[in-house]
């Protein structure tokens, strides 16, 4: 997989070569980016965010990421001054300043804190946008993708959606982080979390898919409606693979023929083991492999691509 990533060669005299950030109306090198320690975005994790990938100089499904970001802001009752067009321009400029051809590009909306003399209530806290572009980040290292991830079903349960809406991206990761420590303790790469009814939800930063009797199945509740997840549905249609979104029990997950994960920072990522049980021949299965290869082939063709406006750095 690593051969798919063209070498970056940013000019050494570019102060933004390690990444570029935008915070509350100002651009700066990533190493200078900071938010006030007293803001509720930091103190209360009162933030929503989204992440879009840039590969070979093109954003992937940029409009859909912006639409989801706006929907997340609405759900958490954020109202920053920037329009969607403004945020789009900010993302282009961050990438352009960095000069990166392959980048991990984040957009955040944070709650500040009430001004002097105002009631100590989130209604009175100012909202603002932050964004940054840094070199491409792999959620799962290419070498792990090649051999297939080792997964565990964590004992930690996912935060219920009636407490924190998982369809709006958020910083409430305590359950996911705790699950990752469980995975490490059990010599696995990643965890999957169940809901309180014993059904699979998602993992730390990714959706999960199961191949069951030739059908691609993914959980339909308690999960982020991922943009790469949507891409899997599109690819299944292209490849005449049946798919469905429904409840998946822990027992059914452990008995699946194949498992793969999907995320912006990694694409389609196959697994080879779950809870110590080996699937197939302890390597990625044929459907997972076929979808992964098709995903990156389509990306190389410019599928759903928006060219970065590198002139925005001027």
pLDDT over threshold 70, residue 4: no
Beta-bridge mates of residue 131? 22, 107
Q: What is the pLDDT of residue 11?
A: 54
pLDDT over threshold 80, residue 12: no
Percent of the chain past pLDDT 90, that is, above it, reads 96
* Domains in the chain: ranges and CATH: 2-136 (3.30.470.10), 142-300 (3.20.10.10)
- Span 9-23, average pLDDT: 86
pLDDT over threshold 60, residue 1: no
Q: Give the model confidence (pLDDT) of 129-155 as tens digits.
A: 999 999 999 999 999 999 999 999 999
Q: Rounded to two decimals, what is the model's pTM?
A: 0.94
Q: Give the model confidence (pLDDT) of 87-102 as tens digits.
A: 999 999 999 999 999 9
pLDDT over threshold 50, residue 2: no
């Amino acid at each position: 997989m690593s051969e798919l990533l063209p070498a970056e060669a940013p000019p050494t005299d570019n102060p933004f070569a390690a990444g570029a950030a935008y915070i509350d109306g100002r651009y700066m090198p990533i190493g200078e980016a900071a938010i006030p320690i007293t803001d509720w975005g930091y103190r209360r994790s009162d933030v929503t965010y989204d992440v879009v990938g840039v590969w070979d100089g093109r954003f992937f499904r940029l409009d859909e990421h912006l639409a989801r970001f706006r929907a997340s802001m609405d759900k958490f009752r954020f109202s920053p001054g920037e329009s969607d067009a403004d945020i789009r321009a900010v993302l282009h400029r961050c990438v352009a300043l960095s000069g990166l051809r392959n980048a991990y590009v984040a957009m955040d909306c944070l709650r500040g804190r009430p001004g002097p003399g105002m009631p100590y209530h989130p209604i009175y806290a100012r909202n603002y946008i932050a964004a940054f572009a840094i070199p491409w980040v792999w959620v799962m290292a290419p070498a792990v993708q090649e051999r297939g991830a080792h997964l565990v079903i964590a004992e930690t349960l996912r935060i219920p959606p009636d407490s924190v809406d998982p369809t709006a991206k958020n910083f409430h990761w305590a359950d996911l982080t705790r699950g990752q420590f469980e995975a490490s303790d059990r010599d696995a790469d990643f965890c999957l979390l169940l809901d309180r009814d014993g059904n699979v939800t998602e993992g730390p930063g990714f959706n999960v898919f199961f191949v069951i009797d030739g059908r691609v199945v993914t959980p339909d509740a308690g999960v982020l409606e991922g943009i790469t997840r949507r891409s899997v549905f599109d690819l299944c249609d292209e490849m005449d693979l049946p798919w469905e979104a429904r409840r998946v029990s822990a027992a059914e997950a452990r008995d699946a023929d194949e498992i793969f994960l999907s995320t912006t920072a990694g694409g389609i990522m196959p697994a080879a083991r779950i809870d110590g049980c080996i699937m197939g021949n302890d390597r990625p299965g044929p459907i997972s492999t076929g979808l992964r290869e098709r995903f990156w082939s389509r990306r190389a063709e410019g599928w759903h691509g928006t060219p970065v406006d590198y002139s925005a750095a001027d």
